[in-house]
Amino acid sequence: MTAIPLLEVDSVSVTYPNGHRAVIHSSFSVKAGQRMGLVGESGSGKSSLARAILGLAPVSSGQLRIGGQSIQQTDPHSRKRRAKQVQMVFQDPYHSLNPRRTILQAISEALQVQDRHFSRSELEKESANLLEKVHLEPSALYRFPHQFSGGQRQRISIARALAPKPKILVCDEAVSALDVTTQFSIVQLLRKISESDNIALLFITHDIPLIEHICEDIIVLEQGKIIEAGPVASVFKNPQTAKTRYLLESVLRLP
Amino acid sequence: MISANGIAPPALAFRDLSVTYCGNSSETLALDSFSAEIFPGKIFALVGESGSGKSSAGFAAGGLLPASNTRITGEISIENSPISASDASALQKKCGRQIGFVFQEPSTALHPAIRIQTQVAESIHSSLSHSQKRDRVAELLRSVQLTPDARLLKAYPHHLSGGMQQRVVIAMAMANQPSVLIADEPTTALDPTIRKEILELIRSLAVQHRSGVLLITHDFGIVSHFADEVAVLLRGKVVESGSTQEILSSPSHPYTQTLIASARGTANISHP
Ligand SMILES: Nc1ncnc2c1ncn2[C@@H]1O[C@H](COP(=O)(O)OP(=O)(O)OP(=O)(O)O)[C@@H](O)[C@H]1O
Ligand SMILES: Nc1ncnc2c1ncn2[C@@H]1O[C@H](COP(=O)(O)OP(=O)(O)OP(=O)(O)O)[C@@H](O)[C@H]1O
Ligand SMILES: [Mg+2]
Ligand SMILES: [Mg+2]
């Protein structure tokens, strides 16, 4: 048993420059390899919390630590070190991919976060391997982001986020636009990688059934506050708050 | 507009639409002779795998496919006036007036440097007084479960969450009660509660204003609750289509069967 959790979110608040507080004194921790679901209504602060972990949202109070070390420094060296540890698949794949870079350039850049040298052909090979994992052909390497479908862009973002072999992968609605078969195989992939490489997942989704497939634990956010947390099975079976019950009940199932 | 046999013509029809994206070394046939008719008052769902050509069909109807390196053949008919699918400018003109669009990635539909209030107001075509317009903007935002307070009205798109952006785009698409609504994965970023409410809203547009809705979705749960008809695309080809009832009770194509089973939560899905 390790004493220190991999990620510690310690009474964190996120306050935007316009004064809006999107996350309010939230605390939780994630162990190495642990898969945690994060759910809540639209606007409840999920993406803000995720971006704070990446150093991309203004943390107004509290502490964020990875492996016991504070991650609030924003100098380039600290950023690079953080990139090796935490990667994120953003909710809006269109905006998170640079339109002027080919997929090969985008993934290569992410690969080079690792402390090793890659030759050009190694970059191509590694990038093609990553694409294959998300069911895309190697020919995709030489195309630009706008030349793909929405779901393909989501998959490219996943491949890129896996490239630096992070310890924590934050997935913000990362598979929401995918059809069930593709979605399921990507979710299996994430689960497998999480198990084999001991990667922790913070998995944000509105898709409640998906949480059951991938996560062990779940956090429910409402208006910036954590209102419920615990193992998926017990929260689903016995939700403690009306809001959680409501989120669970409104799933559209087939008659 | 009722024809001789008493059936209103489709609000939107695709006839033999083919779309090919030509790259430097490869060509992608995104749609292969795609035909569909979307009738007034009805919701027509287009489902299929990622990359099967769903968004390409939506873009084609609006004349919004990339102009260069795209080969387009076939015809698109909006309210009974047929237009060549390759005539982007004619389609855009028609689309601006009669089609409401909800794009798959909402941020692409919002201007990053214009406040929400102004963007939504600009989407309203009818000439209203300043205060009427302000009321209408508030009404539209409330219809998508957003609170039209100062924070929202004065916000720029990047100040909003993904689901909030998506709902602003939906409000704008509905602003003029379009006779055709093309909604591409309109509820992917929304929690189940709001998702249901938005879909109800789309249904009431169809029913009350006799709009034809093309609903692109990957979720058969949504199809079963909200669509009248459904077509299943696989690699650019329609492999199955019919009334939702029919397809749900006796899906003939294995891919459709997988989709349905997975939405029932009964399938152990693996990649085909
Ligand atoms: N850059 C920003 N400036 C000001 N307010 C912001 C900013 N980003 C987000 N917000 C606000 O913070 C709140 C939480 O947004 P966030 O994106 O974290 O929600 P979310 O839970 O991810 O929602 P969704 O499910 O819709 O994506 C929202 O009210 C939003 O308007
Ligand atoms: N501008 C483009 N240039 C080249 N290929 C393209 C372009 N746009 C789309 N494609 C390709 O055309 C095919 C169909 O794309 P489309 O966006 O219509 O799929 P989709 O069914 O909407 O998928 P998704 O569910 O992932 O959004 C895909 O293989 C995609 O890579
Ligand atoms: Mg979000
Ligand atoms: Mg699409």
In tens, the pLDDT along B96-150 reads: 778 999 988 888 889 999 999 999 999 998 889 999 999 999 999 999 999 999 9
pLDDT tens figures, B154-186: 999 999 999 999 999 999 999 999 999 999 999
Identity of residue B218 = H
* Neighbouring-strand partners of residue B21: B28, B70
Which domains are present in chain B? 1-98+182-272 (3.40.50.300), 107-177 (no CATH)
Identity of residue A133 = K
CA distance B42 to B229: 8
CB A197 within 8 A of CB A165: yes
- pLDDT score of B264: 72
What residues are in contact with ligand 2 under a 6 Å CB criterion? A 146-152, 177; B 21, 28, 30, 48, 50-56, 66, 104
Distances (CA, A) of B80 to A47, B58, B179: 44, 18, 12
CA distance A9 to A66: 9
Q: From first to last of the 255 residues of chain A, give the pLDDT tens digit.
A: 555 799 999 999 999 999 999 999 999 999 999 999 999 999 999 999 999 998 889 999 999 998 888 877 767 777 777 778 999 999 888 888 999 999 999 999 999 988 889 999 999 999 999 999 999 999 999 999 999 998 999 999 999 999 999 999 999 999 888 888 888 888 988 999 899 999 999 999 988 888 988 999 999 999 999 999 999 999 989 999 988 888 887 665 655
List for chain A the helix, strand, coil content (%; round to 5).
40, 25, 35
Distance A98 CA to ligand 4 centre (A): 19
Q: How much is the ipTM here?
A: 0.89
Considering only the beta carbons, identify the residue of B50, B161, B260 that sits closest to A178: B50
Distance B28 CA to ligand 2 centre (A): 9
Distances (CA, A) of A50 to A58, A228, B249, B268: 11, 17, 42, 31
CA distance B121 to B137: 6
The three-state secondary structure class of B137 is helix
Which tokens sit at A200?
A: 């922790």
Which of A215, A155, A141 is CA-nearest to residue A183?
A155
Considering only the beta carbons, identify the residue of B194, B260, B270 that sits closest to A41: B194
CB B28 within 8 A of CB B5: no
Which tokens sit at B119?
A: 């963007």
